[in-house]
């Protein structure tokens, strides 16, 4: 049975299908056989803005492709094995990367660096060579470091365009809306808040003061809500008890962000969402990448919005975020250098 969120996504996408004569797009998922990759492939198969789906993994992708390909939507699906990465990337416009290992209880996202850094670097090298104009959506953790790794790898290949490389932080935005909805007794569609910064612990900065219901939360309830948003990932890791981290909510968030990008690429105006991209928001503090609201358009990132007015508590959260984020970014850069 579809979750309510998935059903809403499906109905939104179906509406987009019936009202637009959009150009359609070839999308690749690298890591399609995994916990995120499988449901993400399913959700992309039902996105009418996807014309063709290219599913790659070092194991299992042809099976996932055969399964998903029976769904009665127009797009075509093909699976590729370990030695077929170049073929998988032929002609793709958007590449989503959930390849890599997930956390187990007791680990931080940074503990995944040693394994995932080289996976992401090698995949980015191939994308840079075969599909240099593709938009790359990085899900693999630690996002604060893997996105700089992708950027530097493409830079070295001479094909980096900051408008086309995105860290997917949508799950933080999804969680913030859901958790604020829960504590304030509202539908999450009315409790959307920007979440800025990065994607781990203290680098995740929810700007609750920018939503009327969020602004009304104070004291211990405020502290608990911020903590839950910052450490929502740990909640899932603990509950899964060694079986991995968020996969279903992440697939939803990944499909939601991909759909937002595709709408922008297709010329829709006013598609605005936070994402972790290279920008100048805190360049004066030596922080090259920062998630804040971005308008997505035909070239990818069209406009980066300032983070807006902050409460005193949010100023403190931001102060705690920036040094950690800077370290994570530098660690990613150093890996490629």
Ligand X SMILES: O=C([O-])CC(=O)C(=O)O
Ligand Y SMILES: NC(=O)C1=CN([C@@H]2O[C@H](COP(=O)(O)OP(=O)(O)OC[C@H]3O[C@@H](n4cnc5c(N)ncnc54)[C@H](O)[C@@H]3O)[C@@H](O)[C@H]2O)C=CC1
Whole-angstrom Cα distance, residue 333 to residue 323?
15
- The yes or no reply on residue 200 touching ligand Y (CB under 6 A) is no
User: Between residues 139 and 217, which has the closer beta carbon with respect to ligand Y?
Assistant: 139
Q: Are 314 and 207 in contact (CB under 8 A)?
A: yes
Active site (annotated) includes residue 135:
no
Q: Binding residue per annotation — 106?
A: no
Does the footprint of ligand X cover residue 97 (CB under 6 A)? Answer: no
For residue 99, state whether it binds ligand Y (rule: CB under 6 A): yes
d(C-alpha 118, C-alpha 45), whole Å: 29
Q: Quickly list H helices, the chain.
A: 4-19, 37-45, 61-68, 85-89, 113-130, 143-156, 170-184, 212-215, 219-230, 232-240, 248-265, 312-336
Instruction: Work out whether 59 is an interface residue with ligand Y (CB under 6 A).
Output: yes
Separation between Cα atoms, residue 8 and residue 157, nearest integer Å: 40
Asked if residue 141 binds ligand X (CB under 6 A), the reply is yes
Judge whether 54 and 26 are in contact, CB under 8 Å: yes
Nearer to ligand Y, 126 or 186 (CB): 126
Q: Which is nearer to ligand Y, 2 or 243 (CB)?
A: 243
Listed ranges 58-66, 221-229, 233-241, 268-276: which one lies at the site for ligand X (CB under 6 A): 233-241
Dihedral sign (CA 245, 318, 295, 300) = negative
Q: Does 314 bind ligand Y (CB under 6 A)?
A: no
Give the Å distances, CA to CA, from 63 to 18, 102, 236: 30, 21, 27
Q: Binding to ligand X by residue 246, rule CB under 6 A? A: yes
Instruction: Return phi, psi of residue 186, to 5°.
Output: -125, 160
Q: Which of 199, 228, 256, 263 is catalytic?
A: 199
Region binding ligand Y by CB under 6 A among candidate stretches 46-54, 95-103, 287-295, 313-321:
95-103
Give the nearest distance from C-beta 113 to ligand Y in angstroms. 10
Contacting residues toward ligand X, per CB under 6 A: 102-103, 109, 141, 171, 233, 236-237, 245-246
List binding-site positions for NAD(+). Answer: 31-37, 57, 116, 139-141, 250
The residues assigned a catalytic role are 199
Contacting residues toward ligand Y, per CB under 6 A: 30-31, 33-37, 57-59, 98-103, 112, 116, 119, 123, 139-141, 143, 168, 171, 199, 244-247, 250
């Amino acid at each position: 049975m579809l979750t309510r969120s998935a059903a809403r996504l499906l109905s939104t996408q179906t509406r987009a299908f019936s009202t637009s004569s959009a150009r359609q797009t070839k999308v690749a998922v690298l890591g399609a056989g995994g916990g995120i990759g499988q449901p993400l492939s399913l959700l992309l198969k039902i996105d009418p803005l996807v014309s063709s789906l290219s599913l790659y993994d070092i194991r299992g992708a042809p099976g996932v492709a055969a399964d998903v390909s029976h769904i009665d939507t127009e797009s075509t699906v093909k699976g590729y094995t370990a030695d077929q990465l170049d073929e998988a990337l032929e002609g793709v416009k958007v590449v989503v990367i959930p390849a890599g290992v997930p956390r187990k209880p007791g680990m931080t996202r940074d503990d995944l660096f040693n394994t995932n850094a080289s996976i992401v670097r090698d995949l980015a090298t191939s994308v840079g060579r075969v599909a240099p104009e593709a938009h790359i959506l990085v899900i693999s953790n630690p996002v604060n470091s893997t996105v700089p790794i992708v950027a530097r790898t493409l830079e070295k290949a001479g094909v980096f365009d900051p408008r086309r490389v995105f860290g997917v932080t949508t799950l933080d935005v999804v969680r913030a809306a859901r958790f604020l909805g829960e504590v304030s007794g509202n539908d999450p569609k009315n409790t959307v808040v920007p979440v800025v910064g990065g994607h781990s612990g203290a680098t995740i900065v929810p700007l609750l003061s920018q939503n009327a219901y969020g602004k009304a939360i104070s004291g211990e309830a405020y502290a608990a809500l911020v903590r839950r948003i910052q450490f929502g990932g740990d909640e899932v890791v603990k509950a899964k008890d060694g079986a991995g981290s968020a996969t279903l909510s992440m697939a939803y968030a990944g499909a939601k962000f991909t759909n937002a990008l595709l709408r922008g690429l297709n010329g829709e105006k006013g598609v605005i969402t936070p994402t972790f991209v290279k920008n100048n928001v805190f360049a004066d503090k030596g922080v090259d990448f920062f998630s804040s609201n971005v308008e997505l358009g035909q070239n990818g990132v069209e406009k980066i919005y300032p983070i807006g007015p902050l409460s005193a508590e949010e100023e403190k959260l931001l102060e705690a975020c920036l040094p950690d984020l800077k370290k994570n970014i530098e660690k990613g850069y150093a890996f490629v250098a």
